Amino acid sequence: MHIADNDKQHAQSLLDFIDASPSPWHAVAQIAETLRAHGFKGLREYEPWQFKAGGKYFVVRDDGAIVAFILGQQALSESGFRLVGAHTDSPGLRLKPKAAYASNGLAQLGVEVYGGPILATFTDRDLSLAGRVTVSTSEGMKTHLVKLEQAIARLPNLAIHMNREVNEKGLVLNKQTGLPLIYGHAADSAIAQQLLLQQLAAVLEIAPEAIFSWDLALYDTQKGSFWGLDQEFIADSQLDNLASCHAALSALITTVKPSSTLICALLDHEEVGSESSSGAGGSFLLDVIDRICLSTGIENEGKLQAFANSFFISADMAHAFHPNHAGSYEPCHHVQVNHGPVIKTNANQRYSTNAVTAARFMQLCKQANVPYQQYAHRTDLGCGSTIGPIMAAQLGIATVDVGNPMWAMHSIRESAGVLDHRYMTAVLQAHFAS
């Protein structure tokens, strides 16, 4: 399979983005930085908003969600919005508030399971901590991003000599007792706690006593990589769904003077059901849309008219066919890595796609000269969901659920295709230009 240099570069820029984004809060900071570098102006929710015609803006809520938009050249009520939605969070392990304790001379970290990770994949990895920490300063409370660079924590497997059936029955880890990580030696829990606070304080260049609280995730320090004979595959953590965030962002920053108003909504908490102030079930996107309408003098009638003229692409990763597990897939809906974006359909509205929105996406693929595939889950297996149905219900906008094919969804080391990333970016560009 021939991989062109620019396709490889685009995939490399995705891997660089993921490696700089070990938590959703880091991902949003990275996205904001890229937007700023491309002339987007940052808005704050607590300030009044004023727009210039054709202006480019973004707004962050709770550090984990970001909505970026470009005002269109045509009247909003007539041309509507072209929206792309994706999520910034990935399943994994999150530190408990009082995480550190000592056990048999070792310092350990207690963790909660965030969303639905494949827990076995977190064993024997070079893990570290990243997230945000709220501290006391002379000017009041401040929240800082923090990332420990070195691998500091590990979840070693139990030797096969004490777990003889692991290859027959799979690795089963009790979520309370099987997941605490080892991160050093400590005679008692007070020392274990101090070790953790000192590590964080050193990176933040503050005193350990200044730390109030945190949202911290375990991340894999191994960087993203290419693999396959022609280096046509990529592997990294968080491809679900930072790959879609990166494709949406790449498409947005390369679009010039769109006729419709473009919106990228990259939201948090999808992996735990989206019910939060910064998730798809919350008010964030609608609040931004309301303020766009208010600030551009669009009345309610005009807004509802705009919604009816809009199209929403919900981009989240899809399940590529795995040849060793053919029985797990719907036989007529195998989707292949590097064969193009996948349109996801579910009659029970776990995906928002319908005949009309699927056809509209197919049309965009044709315009962008991009192949597409169609996916349905096995009828006898429970189907996952996305932000698509939530957004469709909340906004009443025609919506399609799509995503690039990938293997090992929710593993700490997922994999996908180099070509698909360029394909998805190209079709989202076509959407923004439509």
- Minimum Å gap between C-beta 115 and Co ion is 9
Yes or no: say if 407 and 322 are a contact pair by the CB < 8 Å rule. yes
- Minimum Å gap between C-beta 302 and Co ion is 33
Which member of 240, 268, 401, 414 binds Co ion (CB under 5 A)? 240
Site string for Co ion, 285-324 (x = CB under 5 A): -------------------------------x--------
- Minimum Å gap between C-beta 409 and Co ion is 7
Considering only 215-223, 240-248, 281-289, 417-425, which stretch makes contact with Co ion by CB under 5 A? Answer: 240-248
Yes or no: say if 344 and 318 are a contact pair by the CB < 8 Å rule. yes
Question: How many residues lie near Co ion (CB under 5 A)?
Answer: 3
Yes or no: say if 275 and 282 are a contact pair by the CB < 8 Å rule. yes
Output DSSP code: residue 156: P
- Minimum Å gap between C-beta 87 and Co ion is 6
Nearer to Co ion, 316 or 414 (CB): 316
Which residues, other chains included, contact 36 with Cβ-Cβ below 8 Å and sequence gap of 6+?
42
- Minimum Å gap between C-beta 91 and Co ion is 9
Nearer to Co ion, 62 or 271 (CB): 271
Site of tokens 């036989």 = 331
The closest of 249, 358, 290, 245 to 81, measured between CA atoms, is 290
Nearer to Co ion, 29 or 318 (CB): 318
Nearer to Co ion, 224 or 258 (CB): 224
Q: Which two tokens stand for residue 247?
A: 């494709």
Residues 241-260 that bind Co ion (CB under 5 A): 241
Strand partners, 105: none
Considering only 99-107, 234-242, 284-292, 294-302, which stretch makes contact with Co ion by CB under 5 A? Answer: 234-242
Output DSSP code: residue 154: B
Gap between the Cα atoms of 197 and 208, Å rounded: 5
Dihedral sign, CA of 140, 144, 150, 155?
positive
Yes or no: say if 54 and 70 are a contact pair by the CB < 8 Å rule. yes
* Residue 90 interacts with Co ion (CB under 5 A): yes or no: no
* Chain contacts with Co ion (rule: CB under 5 A): 240-241, 316
